């Protein structure tokens, strides 16, 4: 088993159980406890876990990436503000691709007032759009990875290779000016790479807390993105760095009106 595959398995167990033990991981993954300890050290250096005696737990600070379900439920007001800015980019009658994520789901909630065709592989997004008469919905099938609501499979990937949409809206686990866009699972990384290739315009929806976070696997660099929509609580230094890049950046206002 490759190290990246072990990392994925370790993080999946951490997401499920909140605490993991070296001895149990060694048995589960069929490698020595020494190998597991080296893996945990590497993941701790990335900020993805905190080592304890005999195992590891979730990081205690606000920068932690896990648990995924908890992370996706936070900052709903910020995600709605970002989604409202994203809505302005969609023209009636367009065909758009919506990748899974809590911010893209917020955008799905806002759709329905004008005709648009939406292609998605995400169950939650499809559910949001199902009853909206002006939205023509195409759902790509596949298999769910872990607790994600996104479906990934060979048929969906093959379909993406045959189409070209006006715009894709997607999210990411982490985004760094230096290290690019990263996620926790190789299958999600492969899917997002293909998603980017399928659209004329590539739009990243990401709240400010995800900047300068680095997850496990890189799937894109900043220069591959056409538009970034985030909130205006972003660190001023990161904001200044983004302004030097060849990407359009929109900052959703979080001021109370």
pLDDT by residue (tens digit) across 157-170?
888 888 899 999 99
Question: Is 58's pLDDT higher than 90?
Answer: no
Picking from 33-37, 44-48, 114-118, 179-183, which range would have the lowest pLDDT averaged per residue? 44-48
The pLDDT value given to residue 151: 82
The pLDDT value given to residue 65: 59
Picking from 48-57, 88-97, 102-111, which range would have the lowest pLDDT averaged per residue? 48-57
Interval 46-72 mean pLDDT:
73
The pLDDT value given to residue 257: 45
What share of the chain in percent tops pLDDT 90? 64
Tell me how far apart the alpha carbons of residues 67 and 64 are, in angstroms, rounded to a whole number: 8
The pLDDT value given to residue 62: 53
Cα→Cα distances 104→96, 108, 109, 150, 170, Å: 12, 6, 9, 12, 6
Please identify, in words, the CATH class of the domain defined by 70-252.
alpha beta
Q: Which helix (H) or strand (E) holds 189?
A: helix 186-197
Q: For residue 61, what pLDDT band results from cuts at 50, 70 and 90?
A: low
What is the three-class DSSP state of 204? strand
Interval 81-101 mean pLDDT:
96
Q: Where are the domains of the chain?
A: 3-61, 70-252
Q: For residue range 213-256, what is the model confidence (pLDDT) as tens digits?
A: 888 899 999 999 999 999 999 999 999 999 888 899 999 988 75
The pLDDT value given to residue 25: 94
The 10 Å CB-count burial string (b at 16+, else e) for 151-185 is bbbeebbebbeeeebbbbbbbbbbbbeeebbbbbb
Report residue 195 CA to chain centroid gap.
12
Q: What is the DSSP letter of 208?
A: G
Q: Which CATH number fits domain 3-61: 1.10.10.10, 1.10.357.10, 1.10.3720.10, 3.40.640.10?
A: 1.10.10.10
The pLDDT value given to residue 68: 54
Tell me how far apart the alpha carbons of residues 235 and 216 are, in angstroms, rounded to a whole number: 23
Question: Is 54's pLDDT higher than 80?
Answer: yes
* Tokens 């932690």 found at: 64
Tell me how far apart the alpha carbons of residues 151 and 85 are, in angstroms, rounded to a whole number: 26
The pLDDT value given to residue 8: 85
Cα→Cα distances 15→44, 71, 185, Å: 15, 11, 13
Question: Is 46's pLDDT higher than 70?
Answer: yes
């Amino acid at each position: 088993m490759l190290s990246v595959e072990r990392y994925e398995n370790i993080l999946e167990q951490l997401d499920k159980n909140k605490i993991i033990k070296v001895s149990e991981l060694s048995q589960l993954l069929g490698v020595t406890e020494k190998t597991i300890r080296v893996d945990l050290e590497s993941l701790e250096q990335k900020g993805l876990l905190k080592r304890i005696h005999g195992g590891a737990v979730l990081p205690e600070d606000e920068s932690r990436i896990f648990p995924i379900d908890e992370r996706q439920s936070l900052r709903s007001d910020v995600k709605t503000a970002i989604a409202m800015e994203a809505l302005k980019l969609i023209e009636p009658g367009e065909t758009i691709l919506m990748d899974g994520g809590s911010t893209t789901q917020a955008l799905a909630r806002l759709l329905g007032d004008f005709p648009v065709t939406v292609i998605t592989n995400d169950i939650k997004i499809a559910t949001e759009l199902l009853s909206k008469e002006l939205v023509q919905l195409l759902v790509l099938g596949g298999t769910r990875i872990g607790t994600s609501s996104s479906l990934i499979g060979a048929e969906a990937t093959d379909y993406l290779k045959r189409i070209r949409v006006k715009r894709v809206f997607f999210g990411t686990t982490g985004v760094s000016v230096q290290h690019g866009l990263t996620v926790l699972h190789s299958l999600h990384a492969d899917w997002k790479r293909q998603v980017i290739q399928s659209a004329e315009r590539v739009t990243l929806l990401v709240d400010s807390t995800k900047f300068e976070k680095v997850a496990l696997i890189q799937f894109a660099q900043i220069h591959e993105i056409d538009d970034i929509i985030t909130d205006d609580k972003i660190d001023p230094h990161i904001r200044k760095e983004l302004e030097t890049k060849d990407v359009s950046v929109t900052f959703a206002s979080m001021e109370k009106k």
